[in-house]
Structure 1
Amino acid sequence: MGETPGPTIFGIDVIWVATLLSAVACMMVLVALYAATTARNPMGRRVKALADRREQLKAGITASTSKRRAKLVAKNETTDRMRAMLSGLRVLQDEQLKAAQKKLMQAGIRSKDAAVAVIFGRLVLPIVFGISILVLVYGIDYFPDWTPFKKFGLVAAVLIGSYKAPDLWLQNKVTKRSDAIRKGLPDALDLLVICAEAGLTVDAAFARVARELGRAYPELGDEFALTSIELGFLTDRRQAFENLSNRIDLDAVRGVVTTMIQTEKYGTPLASALRVLSAEFRNERMMRAEEKAARLPAIMTVPLILFILPVLFIVILGPAACSISDAF
């Protein structure tokens, strides 16, 4: 006689499932007993982890320092070659270099060598892309059906676009960074007011605000931390505030800098002036948000007509059209 099959649920043997669950339960009980009876030393484990991390940091700092030095040497050699080439062509002017450095500071790029790279890109990109598009359009005649006017327009657009590409990229970074700083400026001024009323000095207040807002607004925290450092070692504190206004392309920051300079010069109360500026900036931010909300209906009109209304008509009229077609 054959063996009697056990009870099943959905085709699965109940006894086999119960045996498997019992084995898992026994294993968990053994693990719990081992964890309860084994003595732990969390402090020793923490100290060991810190010691290992310290050794890793020492090794990493040594390796990264050598790598950083090698990169700086290679970068300086490349920059020197670019500078020599631009100087030989008589296209590297001091005013142009200072303007590029100012734009780079406003974009958050501290390296002065990047200004030479930007000017070098303005010179090289039109040559490279210009020769490529000339060969493509007139050399191999890649667009045989185009009129001469279209070909000339394509070549001119590529030349102008390649020349303006570094400036457009830089301006885009400046705009994004300025918008990020504008969002956090009212909160930063409120914290400055609190720090001033608590009795902190100006440089200590800037350092405190940079530490508190560094995670929420890293760009603003970076600028405030740099200003705090400059206030600590520059002989003329006015120069530190002017450097802040030069590094940030915002009228609001220029207003704050003017207020700080007047406070330093005439000894006027800092907290009251910053409180007024903070209220103005918050009202400006609210007005900007209301302006975007007012523009939203006009912006949504085209997507509504092109994408939402056709689908709505299909959903509403589709069943009726199907019923009519079935009736006939």
Structure 2
Amino acid sequence: MVMMSFINPLGYLLFFCGVGYLIYTLVSGSIRPDATGKQKTAEFDATEDSGFILIFQPFYRILTPFVHRLPVPGYKRRVQSYVITAGLENQVTGDDIIGFQITVMLLFGIVGMVLSDSTVTITLSAAFGLVYPYLWLREKKTQRQERIKLSMPDVVDMLSLSVEAGLSFNAAVQKVCDIYRHDKDPFVVELYLMDQNIKLGRSRVEALKVMADRVDLMELDSFASILIQANKMGSSIADVLKSQADRMRSERFLKAEKIGAQASQKLLIPMMVFIFPIIFIVIFGPYLVKWITG
């Protein structure tokens, strides 16, 4: 009992100190000029929205030395691959995410300590804080992969038209990147990064493999493999791109039809539970009332 009476004031103190420091970080960060003193006008906007995670940067960066020493290499590799696939590697690293997990775990543990004396509540709060950043990152990765899958047919079609107009494949990629410069299309971002790798001296085959590994998406892996095969066989890139665009568009249409068919099946249970009883009451209710009242 004495221990809990000590922990409660300590929890309040830590909680309000953390909130105060967070507010200070937000305010100072919003008015602080860029460290370079230059306006950020990148040649191509390849930055994904990292959400609220950068708000906690002063906290989880303190934990970086501790995270480096954690003996979980497999988990670190998986988190880092998620960061890359989610398009966040310019803002955070895998170690930052793990540090963020520890930070949120401590924060939620303190909140649980403030709100309740129950050990179970405190433990569950801390566990949720530990797991939530990982789930958030995985969702960001999945959302970006879905956006790439949706945009691929149109972008590949634009590549095909550019190549048919007489541009080389690399020039067509640059043209498409220029057209979609401000759209933040994730597939175009990956094409831009692929083009940068080629400019840095990598072959087209290597750059395509790197792009496929980064995104970790079956459709993009298939697209890269076909382009690599066409490059080795000396086939017409324009014909390959055209056929790929048609195939992707057909697959997208079939998927939309499948989702539409599934929607009607999913509506069946709510109709049976909510709508049919109401229809039954409206139709037979007056007869039932008349029968009861005689």
The residue that corresponds to 1:3 in the other structure is none
Q: TM-score, normalised by structure 2?
A: 0.68
The residue that corresponds to 1:123 in the other structure is 102
Distance 1:162 1:156 in 2: 10
Which one-letter code corresponds to 1:196 in the other structure? Answer: V
SS of 1:246's partner is helix
Deviation of residue 97 (structure 1)? 3.9
The residue that corresponds to 1:309 in the other structure is 276
Structure 1 segment 1-328 matched on structure 2, within 5 A: 67-69=33-35, 80-87=61-68, 90-91=69-70, 96-111=75-90, 113-129=92-108, 140-141=117-118, 158=125, 160-213=127-180, 218-318=185-285, 320=287
Query: Is the Cα–Cα contact under 8 Å of residues 83 and 92 in structure 2 kept in the other structure?
Result: no
Unaligned ranges ≥5, structure 2 = 1-29, 38-54
Question: For residues 286 and 104 of structure 1, do their structure 2 counterparts lie closer, same or farther at Cα, with a shift above 3 Å needed?
Answer: same
Distance 1:283 1:309 in 2: 37
Query: Is the Cα–Cα contact under 8 Å of residues 181 and 217 in structure 1 kept in the other structure?
Result: no
Query: Is the Cα–Cα contact under 8 Å of residues 126 and 162 in structure 1 kept in the other structure?
Result: yes
Distance 1:65 1:272 in 2: 52
Distance 2:245 2:56 in 1: 43
Which one-letter code corresponds to 1:286 in the other structure? Answer: F
Query: Which one has a larger percent helix, Structure 1 or Structure 2?
Result: 1
Deviation of residue 276 (structure 1)? 2.7
Q: Which moved more, 1:202-211 or 1:187-196?
A: 202-211
Query: Is the Cα–Cα contact under 8 Å of residues 60 and 103 in structure 2 kept in the other structure?
Result: no
- Aligned residue pairs, count: 249
Which one-letter code corresponds to 1:283 in the other structure? Answer: S
Unaligned ranges ≥5, structure 1 = 1-63, 143-150
Larger radius of gyration: 1
Which one-letter code corresponds to 1:232 in the other structure? Answer: K
Question: For residues 161 and 182 of structure 1, do their structure 2 counterparts lie closer, same or farther at Cα, with a shift above 3 Å needed?
Answer: same
Question: For residues 94 and 158 of structure 1, do their structure 2 counterparts lie closer, same or farther at Cα, with a shift above 3 Å needed?
Answer: same
Deviation of residue 216 (structure 1)? 6.5
Deviation of residue 99 (structure 1)? 3.2
Deviation of residue 285 (structure 1)? 1.7
Query: Is the Cα–Cα contact under 8 Å of residues 193 and 275 in structure 1 kept in the other structure?
Result: yes
Question: For residues 265 and 289 of structure 1, do their structure 2 counterparts lie closer, same or farther at Cα, with a shift above 3 Å needed?
Answer: same
Question: For residues 156 and 206 of structure 1, do their structure 2 counterparts lie closer, same or farther at Cα, with a shift above 3 Å needed?
Answer: same
Deviation of residue 162 (structure 1)? 3.4
Larger relative contact order, structure 1 or 2 (CA cutoff 8 Å, min sep 6): 2
The residue that corresponds to 2:26 in the other structure is none
The residue that corresponds to 1:31 in the other structure is none
Deviation of residue 208 (structure 1)? 2.1
Distance 2:219 2:87 in 1: 18
Query: Is the Cα–Cα contact under 8 Å of residues 209 and 221 in structure 1 kept in the other structure?
Result: yes
